Amino acid sequence: MDKLRLKFSKTGRAVYLSHLDLMRTMQRVFSRAGVPLKYSEGFNPHAKISIILPLSVGTASLCEYMDFALTEERDLATLPEALNAYMPEGIRALEAYEAPCKGAELRWLMVEGVMKGGRDAAFYTEFFARDTIPVTRKAKRGMRTDDIAPAIQAVQFNDMEGGVAVKAILHAQDPTVSPELMMAALGEDAPAYWRFTRLEAFKEDLTPFR
Amino acid sequence: MEMNEHIDALLRQVQRPARYVGGEYGQVVKDKADVDVRFAFCFPDTYEIGMSNLGMKILYGVLNDMPGVWCERVFAPWGDMAEKLRQEHIPLWALESGDPLSDFDIIAFSIGYEMAYTTVLDMLDLGGVPIHASERMGLEHMVMAGGGCMCNIEPMADFFDLCFLGEGEDVDREVLALYQKAKREGWDKPRFLRQAAQIEGVYIPSLYDIAYNADGTVAAITPKDGAPEKVRKRIVEDFDACYFPTKPVVPSTEIVHDRVSLEVFRGCIRGCRFCQAGHTNRPVRSRKAETLLKLGKETLENTGYQELNLSSLSTSDYRELSELCDGLLDYCRPRGISLSLPSLRADNFSMDIMHRVQQVRKSGLTFAPEAGTQRLRDVINKNVTEEDLLNSCRIAFQGGWNGVKLYFMLGLPTETDEDVLGIADLAKKVYWTWREAAPDRSRGVRITVSTSEFIPKPHTPFQWEAQISREEYLRRVKLLTDALAKAKSVTYNWHDAEMSLVEAALARGDRRVGAVVEEVWKNGGRLESWSDYFALDRWLAAFPACGLDMDFYATRGRPTEELQPWEHMDCAVSRRHLERERERAYEGVLTPDCRAGCAGCGASRLLKEGVCRG
């Protein structure tokens, strides 16, 4: 079975797993569950799996996607349950299905987070309401400055106990705006601590990505 | 384990945080309400090293199978993390519960190498537990230790309450059961320790008085309160039926040996005279091929690992190796699982197995002739001839291998410059063998020669020998470097002798050396088996600061009459055998392996029938 997609969540202790850790872990989960992944040919065979838009270490997600292929037919409806019996803490398979589109079509991610040790909601609201939000970052050749304002939508800040709660829809590919970049844009007004979770994924036209 | 924001913030600032959070598949979590003994299994090195250790996997399983006992894992944090924990006043925690070390009843260390000693003190301190046994008055925070270093743990005697000599599977359970009783009945610590000393394989350092002569040598070792005069090590007699962890914790992040490690047998039939493990793990006891096959399959299925390794001190000596490999290959090959065989001897039989196993990937081959001339190989009882070695290389080169690693020691007893130069000759002969045997020479060949410094270890026939000085080691390295300078396709790597010097001093140290370990730790010593953190200067300063001479421990030859600091440890091989082997070494006489003829080492005493069968 080719072109399959697994939707899963990565929360709790699992947020500290790197992308490579996760790839290795997923292979072993499939192997423990007796679900045979398709492997590449050659001297150093590796499982044909790919994770769309790998998370950075420390960020949680309720909407991760992994594309994979199996060497035999499986009931996709019961696959998540079968895999979950063999998962480490913090990773849950949610849904398995035939991929209806390419992973590259995932364009927007809704995220929520908490920001502590910085300014209040009013300050951040005003900051991100500006027409242009320039961020300077390292590029292949020297430093590059981009305007990330068009890549941030529906951003909301609310004061909460001890900090500010934030929710936004960020452009995830071409260009990529991660929560880290959003924080970096704040410069000296960036909070001392922040933590984000991916909630939902969308296509370019903001229809749900599957 | 709860990841609060404080800890989360900290984890975001350190390298590879996944190693500090637990949550892996296969970890054991128990309800604290059902637990009466909380046991922290501490490994005094990083997660990546500790999680690769088979002993830890075994005991984690054995202890967690006990009702009322919850065994958790604790590892030494890397430097960045240790610094943060101290800065933020966060105590070192156990991976399963996230609870600080100070919450545990028993804090037990597995110690396989001397360079871990300072890390033990650092972990206790990071965990909020007093480092000295004398500062811990109650039944809680009982600090224990086990592992290879227990055959002379005197330098750590002031820090440990209880040590396990030998294999832990049975004795750990017995001690735990006694501890459960002590806790239930409200015993005090001295009573518990006195009782525990009666269990075979248990060593209570505080129950022995050590007297010294004016020259610093040990005068007497006197047991008190009914402790045995000699502590005899424990073994699992029926190794075939011995517990094996078929459902170990599977790390989510990469570790050093990330695979199933199947322990084929314990002990070693070879009597290499420099080798501590080969002497302290006797007698040889094997698992049946049938048992191993079953355990191997089960563990592969339970873990999802793609690699299986056959482990032992000398896997070629396993009687049923051929059947085992065939059986495993039948299972592994269709599933894309690779089989690896380390510690093979340079003989034809091993090469045949090697060919069958490594049909896909032809990586490098490793041989350990240990010495450059036959004379010196006979002295150390390494039963490998030049002919064996070159033959093995020829078969390997014919089969398409194009890399060989050769390991040697410098500074072995009786070594002369001729022996050192013999290493260069041997490397050159390997090269010529390749020229003759390789079917395709266009790819070239890589011959790597590595040397490390010989370290005399307790419970070996060389336990009385002097270690050569650093200067002398470096002179011999230079000699070899020059001799290999023009050798084609040969790379020479040598390990620095700085760490060997410290290791030698600790390996044969007495109780007074504990002050040195403490001094070095106070000056920042930790994780010292890592060159990132090792500093010889700290040790060179600490010995005189404690009124001791490092050379007295490292480079001094001892007369065989001298009472050694570890003579109350009975590791089954008798002193008489060691003395005899020492004499034979000086005569250059080989002692056959255990199967060719029993040398009467004394280890068979531990077996009910009194006969080794491995």
* CB spacing of B23 vs A13 below 8 angstroms: yes
Within a domain: A109: yes
Indicate the residue of B23, B301, B302 with minimum beta-carbon distance to A90: B23
Contact between B5 and A116 using a beta-carbon 8 Å cutoff: yes
User: Residue B306 and residue A31: Cβ atoms within 8 Å?
Assistant: yes
**Chain A residues within 8 A of B297 when measuring between CB atoms:** none
Q: Give yes or no: residues A84 and A130 share one domain.
A: no
End position of a domain, from candidates A100, A128, A145: A100
Give the pair of three-digit tokens for residue A102: 């390419």
In the beta sheet, which residues pair with residue B39?
B71, B106
The answer to whether position A120 is within a domain reads: yes
Cis bond leading into B91, ω under 30°? no
Would you call B431 helix, strand, or coil by DSSP? helix
Residue pLDDT, tens place only, B283-340: 999 999 999 999 999 999 999 999 999 999 998 899 999 999 999 999 998 888 988 8
- Among A88, A193, A195, beta carbon nearest to B23: A88
Contact A20 B1 (CB under 8 A): no
Same domain, A13 and A30: yes
List the CATH number of the domain containing A113.
3.30.70
Kindly state whether residues A90 and A127 are assigned to the same domain. no
Asked if A136 and A94 sit in the same domain, the reply is: no
Render each residue's pLDDT in chain A as its tens digit; 210 residues: 899 999 999 999 999 999 999 999 999 999 999 999 998 877 677 889 999 999 999 999 999 999 999 999 999 999 999 999 999 999 999 999 999 999 999 999 999 999 999 999 999 999 999 999 999 888 778 888 889 999 999 999 999 999 999 999 999 988 899 999 999 999 999 999 999 999 999 999 999 999
Task: Please tell me if residue A47 touches chain B, with a CB cutoff of 8 Å.
Answer: no
d(CA B545, CA A148): 61
- Mean pLDDT computed over B400-408: 89
Is residue A145 situated within a structural domain?
yes
pLDDT tier at B343 (50, 70, 90 boundaries)?
Answer: low
Angle B391-B394-B398 from CA coordinates, rounded to 5°: 145
Contact A38, A71 (CB under 8 A): yes
A60 and A138, same domain (yes or no): no
A125 touches chain B (CB under 8 A): no
pLDDT score of B361 more than 60:
no
In terms of domains, do A133 and A96 share one? no
Residues A65 and A146 in one domain: no
Is A93 found in the same domain as A150? no
The whole-model pTM stands at: 0.95
Cα distance from A122 to chain B (closest Cα, Å)? 23
- Does residue A168 fall inside a structural domain? yes
Distance from CA of A98 to the nearest CA of B (A): 25
With respect to CATH, is domain B244-361+576-586 assigned 3.30.750.210?
yes
Contacts of B201 (CB under 8 A, 6+ apart): B164, B165, B166, B170, B171, B231, B232, B233, B234
A43 vs B360: CB contact, 8 Å cut-off?
A: yes
| Whether A49 and A95 share a structural domain | yes
The whole-number pLDDT of residue B496 equals 85
Q: Tell me what pLDDT residue B610 has.
A: 87
Q: Are A49 and A99 in contact (CB under 8 A)?
A: no
CB pairs under 8 A between A and B: 81
Q: Where does a domain end: A73, A100, A127?
A: A100
Q: Exposed/middle/buried for B185, CB within 10 Å: 0-12, 13-18, 19+?
A: exposed
**Structural domain span for residue A119:** 105-202
Give CA–CA dist B401/B79, Å, rounded: 40
Local structure of B217: helix, strand or coil = coil
| Domain ranges (residues) in chain B | 5-227, 244-361+576-586
Given the DSSP bridges, would you call strands B142-146 and B162-164 parallel, antiparallel or unpaired? parallel
Q: How far is A205 from chain B (nearest CA, A)?
A: 34
Query: Domain containing A17 — which CATH number?
Result: 3.30.70.580
A210 belongs to a structural domain? no
**Does residue A21 belong to any structural domain of this protein?**
yes
Residues A9 and A84 in one domain: yes
User: Do A117 and A198 reside in the same domain of the chain?
Assistant: yes
Confidence of residue B344 (pLDDT cuts 50, 70, 90): confident
- Under CATH, which number does the domain B5-227 receive? 3.40.50.280
The interface residues of chain A toward chain B in range 144-203, judged by CB-CB distance below 8 A, are: 192-193, 195
Q: Note the pLDDT tens digit of each residue in B131-156.
A: 999 999 999 999 999 999 999 999 99
Mutate to test the interface with A, among B5, B48, B247, B252 (most CBs of A within 10 A): B252
pLDDT tens digit sequence for B34-80 = 999 999 999 999 999 999 999 999 999 999 999 999 999 999 999 99
Q: Is residue A182 in a domain?
A: yes
Identify whether the C-beta of residue A167 lies closer than 8 Å to the C-beta of residue A72.
Answer: no
In a domain, A129, yes or no: yes
Of the residues A85, A100, A115, which one is the last residue of a structural domain? A100
For chain A, the domain total comes to 2
Distance from CA of B77 to the nearest CA of A (A): 15
Distance, CA of B283 to CA of B276 (rounded, Å): 13
